[in-house]
Amino acid sequence: MSEVEERKPQEPLHERFVQVLELLQRHRLIEESVARQGSDHQDRVDALVQQQHLAELQQTLAELHPADIAYILEALPLDDRLTVWQLVRVENDGEILLEVSDAVRETLIADMDEHEMIAAAKDLDADELADLAPELPRDVVQGLMESLDDQQREQVRSALSYKDDQVGAIMDFEMVTIREDVTLEVVLRYLRRLKELPDQTDKLFVVDVAGLLKGVLPIKRLLVNDPDCMVHEVMATDPVTFSPDEDGSYAAQAFERYDLVSAPVVEKSGRLLGRLTVDEMVDLIREESESEALNRAGLREEEDIFASVWKSLQNRWAWLAINLITAFVASRVIGLFEHSIEKLVALAALMPIVAGIGGNSGNQTITMIVRAMALDQLSTGNSSRLLRKELGVAFINGVIWGGVIGLVAWLLYDSWSLGLVMTAAMTLNLLLAALMGVLIPMTMVRLGRDPALGSSVLITAMTDSGGFFIFLGLATIFLL
């Protein structure tokens, strides 16, 4: 039975979270009572708190998986978070620090002393320690490195030498290697002597005396073939492999494409360095998805929902400032046509429709383009064709839905010419939205930036200003 199954709570996680909140609330009420009553009842009430609510809370936390505790910590305000953090079992600290978001991890580490940090990290695997090391003080990292053996120390240094988004930074060093010149029976006896297999072990890695990868032996082949067969007779000699300097997102795509559970990471020389596992790929995909969603909204980094006002302000102000500038530009576009709006008040009621539909269409286009880029499906050879396709979709949508709103405008204001202007403006703004939806992410990539960065803000700015200008301009020319 796995560790997750052993610690699986009998109640849904949300119910456990509510239970934790109730216990924290009782704890606060008693603390407030102590403050009001003075020192006469201090000892008695303190003992009651320790024996009842905090003990019950500690027992509740002990029954949860570290990932579930991480979820609860992220959902608590800072004071309650630190109270719960002090009640977590020490042996779970390292796993929890790996599970929480970067912003929350910062608050937890700030509450720990050097000895607590070392105790939390000392039992982590080399790849996990490499993930946590950048967040720890230099003295703590140095102390941890000195406590490792030569092999572990080299593994940590190897993982730290790569960028966060490279395969080398997320590979796992826990794997089982075997030789090709032994029988399957020998391999089976070797496996039985191991205390346990590394998580996500679906294959064994076949190497020679120099550590060069010769192939992989899937566990299912090991189990169904004759024990007297040699490893080289049944192993797969052409496994999917990755280089440590490859982009992690490409590896994640390969895992999805080939339904991989694990895969070897090798140097150019063919020497086996480590492996990638599906759980690491799931974490990477989730992190990239969250990062893309944040970038699209113009947020610079993941934010602790209970962060201080100042920190939240620092994270959000940049794109809000850009949005303010673009909104001002849109207002000035409207200002150019003040006389037109005064003469035909219907324009003021109809122009938000043109801008709003254009913004929605542009966001649809930009989402498709960013996804295509993430999957490496967009290149210089097909970008022009994709642009023509998006313009075609925008034109047809503009004619159809512009015609519908044009008909409504005709019926409401008894002006067929206003209806035609509405249809034309809708069509032109959707074409503009499609054009910008393709060009904005492509331009971001050319500038070396994330194509999703501020995309929602930029496309809305373009379709607002463009939509107002097109609609009011056409109305000025043909209606007044």
For 85-94, what is each residue's pLDDT tens digit? Answer: 998 988 889 9
Is 81:52 a contact under the CB 8 Å cutoff? no
Q: Is the dihedral of CA 44, 47, 53, 56 positive or negative?
A: negative
DSSP 411-454: HHHT-HHHHHHHHHHHHHHHHHHHHHHHHHHHHHHHTTS-TTTT
Residue 309 to residues 48, 106, 321, Cα–Cα distance (Å): 35, 16, 17
Q: What radius of gyration do the chain's Cα atoms show?
A: 30
64: pLDDT strictly greater than 50: yes
Q: Would you state the pLDDT for residue 173?
A: 92
Contacts of 139 (CB under 8 A, 6+ apart): 114
CATH superfamily for 309-479 is: SLC41 divalent cation transporters, integral membrane domain (1.10.357.20)
Q: Would you state the pLDDT for residue 32?
A: 66
CATH superfamily for 4-170 is: MgtE N-terminal domain-like (1.25.60.10)
459: pLDDT strictly greater than 70: yes
Q: Is the dihedral of CA 284, 286, 292, 297 positive or negative?
A: negative
Is 93:113 a contact under the CB 8 Å cutoff? no
183: pLDDT strictly greater than 80: yes
Residue 44 to residues 25, 56, 59, 87, 379, Cα–Cα distance (Å): 19, 18, 22, 21, 72
Q: Would you state the pLDDT for residue 4?
A: 44
How many H-runs (helices) and E-runs (strands) does the chain carry? 24, 5
172 confidence band (pLDDT: 50, 70, 90): very high
Inter-axis angle of helices 455-479 and 278-296, nearest 10: 40
**CATH 1.10.357.20 intervals, the chain:** 309-479
Instruction: Report which secondary-structure segment, H or E, holds 41.
Output: none
- In a 13 Å sphere around the CA of 63, the CA atoms on its Cβ side amount to 15
In 422-441, which positions are buried (b, 16+ CB within 10 angstroms) versus exposed (e)? bbbbbbbbbbbbbbbbbebb
* Pairing relationship of beta strands 177-178 and 203-207 according to DSSP bridges: parallel
47: pLDDT strictly greater than 70: no
- Higher-confidence residue: 327 or 419? 419
40: pLDDT strictly greater than 70: no
Q: Would you state the pLDDT for residue 6?
A: 46
What's the whole-number mean pLDDT along residues 380-387?
80
Q: Would you state the pLDDT for residue 51?
A: 61
Backbone φ and ψ for 14, nearest 5 degrees, come out as -60, -35
10: pLDDT strictly greater than 50: no
Determine how many CB atoms are found less than 10 A away from the CB of residue 264.
23
Domain 177-297: top CATH class: alpha beta
Q: Which 3 state secondary structure label does DSSP give 236?
A: strand
Contacts of 123 (CB under 8 A, 6+ apart): 91, 94
50: pLDDT strictly greater than 60: no
41 confidence band (pLDDT: 50, 70, 90): low
Q: Would you state the pLDDT for residue 326?
A: 81
What's the whole-number mean pLDDT along residues 90-100?
90
383: pLDDT strictly greater than 70: yes
331: pLDDT strictly greater than 60: yes
Q: Would you state the pLDDT for residue 231?
A: 96
Query: Widest CA span of the chain, in angstroms?
Result: 94
Which of 430, 462, 120 shows the shortest CA–CA distance to 322?
462
Contacts of 469 (CB under 8 A, 6+ apart): 333, 336
Contacts of 252 (CB under 8 A, 6+ apart): 281, 284, 285, 288
> 183 forms bridges with which residues in the sheet?
230
Instruction: Report which secondary-structure segment, H or E, holds 206.
Output: strand 203-207
pLDDT tens per residue across span 287-304: 887 777 777 666 666 667
104: pLDDT strictly greater than 60: yes
Q: Would you state the pLDDT for residue 9?
A: 45
Helices within 309-345 (DSSP H only)? 309-335, 338-343
Q: 156-165, 210-219, 309-318: which range is least confident on average?
A: 309-318
To 5 degrees, how large is the angle CA 251–CA 69–CA 288?
25
**CATH 3.10.580.10 intervals, the chain:** 177-297
229 confidence band (pLDDT: 50, 70, 90): very high
Q: What is the DSSP letter of 272?
A: E
d(CA 467, CA 473): 10
Q: Is the dihedral of CA 353, 358, 359, 363 positive or negative?
A: positive
What's the whole-number mean pLDDT along residues 111-131?
88
Q: Would you state the pLDDT for residue 17?
A: 85
**CATH 1.25.60.10 intervals, the chain:** 4-170
Is 159:126 a contact under the CB 8 Å cutoff? yes
